[in-house]
Amino acid sequence: MPTLAEELATIRRGAEGDGTKPGRIPPDLLAIMHRVTRDQQQSDFRTRMPAIGQPAPAFTLPNQDGTPIASAALLANGPLVVSYFRGQW
């Protein structure tokens, strides 16, 4: 059974290529992804993130219809999970 690291490496090779064949991500988009990742790592963003278990700051974002939704209103109904879809690089 492969380890998680081995499975992730296989996924990465399929997406980025392995040096002998191209991956699923076009080279121009792959360059952007790597640049953004490098910029994020160098920004030290982790020092500004809430710690595990620490509440996130309150926010208001538009829903799929453009209606503003406040996190406090959602939290009033129970736990809240926020998922981000980055779209295309």
pTM of the model: 0.54
Neighbours of 69 (CB within 10 A): 14
CA distance 11 to 5: 10
Amino acid in the structure at residue 35: R
Q: What is the pLDDT of residues 69-79, one digit of tens each?
A: 999 999 999 99
User: Domain extents for the chain?
Assistant: 4-75
Q: Which residues in 4-88 belong to E strands, given as ranges?
A: 60-62, 68-70
Mean pLDDT over the full length of the chain: 89
- The rounded distance, in Å, linking the Cα atoms of 34 and 42 is 12
CA dist 34 and 26 (Å) reads 12
Per the structure block, which two tokens stand in for 37? 């990742």
Q: Provide the pLDDT for residue 32.
A: 93
